[in-house]
């Protein structure tokens, strides 16, 4: 019914939902048969082909920081400043440390490098140097105290014994292997840096009993003790490095002789500074 410009709709047609438009055409959807009990499927359907597969480094993409992010890279030189980089060198049994200490007291065997080639440690060298610092400071203090008391003179504690001993032993076991590492690399006979630290660290163990025997108030006896300890330490290092340094060419003898004399020089420094008591 029309009334003016408006059209009226029968109320019966408005009530209820809008009826769907019937469509006589039917669409048939066929699904492929699949066996959900079998994984992975035997066929090639549904698999990712090599052309559309993930990149080769997708497995560790989450473990690596995104380029341009603020997270520091853990590779290269950055890993040197992490604790995880040094953890394997402190994972050593007490029996292994004792065996290596015993080998250092028998320098003519020359088999230390072979035994530690696969698992050099820094645990033993660290505690050997730390023990040497404590023994040197305590023994040196005790000897000077007794010497002053025997002559009825006033005695003052010298704190420089601790700082000097720490600088000497920690510095020696760090700087000398580093220099030797560079020299051997220059002569095309590179050696493992950690193994050099390990060798030089254990070579200092013989000075611990030598320092303890310096309590005897005889200067000639102290010279003998320092000389024997220096000779054993120098022989231990030189013989263990001789076989490897021979590949450096004709100058291998000069390198070994320099290593031997440097260890003897350490013994002389210890005798002059720690084994000598002046009142």
Residue 169 has pLDDT above 60, yes or no: yes
Report residue 265's pLDDT band, with 50, 70 and 90 as the boundaries.
very high
Q: Where are the alpha helices (DSSP H) in 116-251?
A: 123-150, 160-186, 193-203, 207-213, 219-245
Q: 82 vs 22, which has greater pLDDT? A: 82
Domain ranges of the chain: 110-275
* pLDDT value at residue 21: 53
* pLDDT value at residue 25: 58
**Is the CB of residue 112 less than 8 Å from the CB of residue 202?**
yes
* Mean pLDDT to the nearest integer, 261-269: 93
**Is the CB of residue 133 less than 8 Å from the CB of residue 208?**
no
Closest C-alpha to 240, from 101, 96, 107: 107
**Is the CB of residue 240 less than 8 Å from the CB of residue 113?**
yes
Q: Which two tokens stand for residue 114?
A: 């072979």
Q: Which two tokens stand for residue 149?
A: 């008391």
pLDDT digits (tens, 9 = 90+) for 54-80: 444 433 333 333 344 444 445 556 666
pLDDT digits (tens, 9 = 90+) for 149-164: 777 777 777 778 888 8
Whole-angstrom distance, CA of residue 275 vs CA of residue 163 = 17
Count of CB atoms situated within 10 Å of the CB of 170: 15
pLDDT digits (tens, 9 = 90+) for 190-233: 888 899 999 999 999 999 999 888 888 788 998 999 999 999 99
Pairing of strands 6-7, 2-3: antiparallel
pLDDT digits (tens, 9 = 90+) for 1-26: 444 555 555 555 545 555 555 555 55
């Amino acid at each position: 019914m029309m009334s003016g410009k408006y059209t009226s709709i029968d109320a019966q047609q408005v009530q209820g939902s809008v009826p769907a438009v019937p469509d006589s055409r039917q669409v048939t959807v066929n699904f492929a048969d699949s066996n959900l009990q079998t994984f992975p499927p035997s066929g090639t359907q549904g698999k990712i082909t090599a052309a559309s597969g993930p990149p080769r480094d997708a497995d560790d993409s989450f473990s690596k920081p995104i380029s341009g992010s603020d997270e520091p890279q853990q590779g290269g030189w950055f890993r040197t400043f992490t604790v995880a980089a040094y953890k394997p060198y402190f994972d050593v049994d007490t029996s292994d440390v004792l065996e290596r200490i015993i080998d250092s007291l028998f320098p003519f065997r020359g088999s230390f490098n072979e035994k530690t080639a696969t698992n050099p440690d820094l645990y033993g060298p660290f505690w050997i140097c730390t023990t040497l610092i404590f023994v040197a400071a305590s023994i040196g203090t005790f000897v000077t105290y007794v010497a002053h008391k025997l002559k009825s003179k006033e005695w003052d504690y010298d704190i420089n014994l601790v700082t000097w001993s720490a600088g000497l032993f920690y510095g020696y076991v760090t700087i000398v292997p580093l220099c030797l590492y560079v020299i051997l690399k220059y002569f095309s006979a590179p050696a493992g840096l950690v193994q050099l630290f390990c060798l030089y660290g254990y070579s200092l163990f013989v000075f611990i009993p030598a320092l303890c025997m310096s309590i005897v108030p005889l200067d000639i006896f102290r010279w003998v003790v320092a000389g024997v300890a220096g000779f054993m330490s120098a022989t231990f290092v030189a013989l263990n490095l001789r076989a490897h340094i021979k590949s450096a060419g004709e100058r291998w003898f000069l390198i070994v002789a320099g290593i031997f004399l440097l260890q003897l020089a350490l013994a002389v420094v210890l005798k002059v500074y720690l084994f000598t008591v002046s009142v």
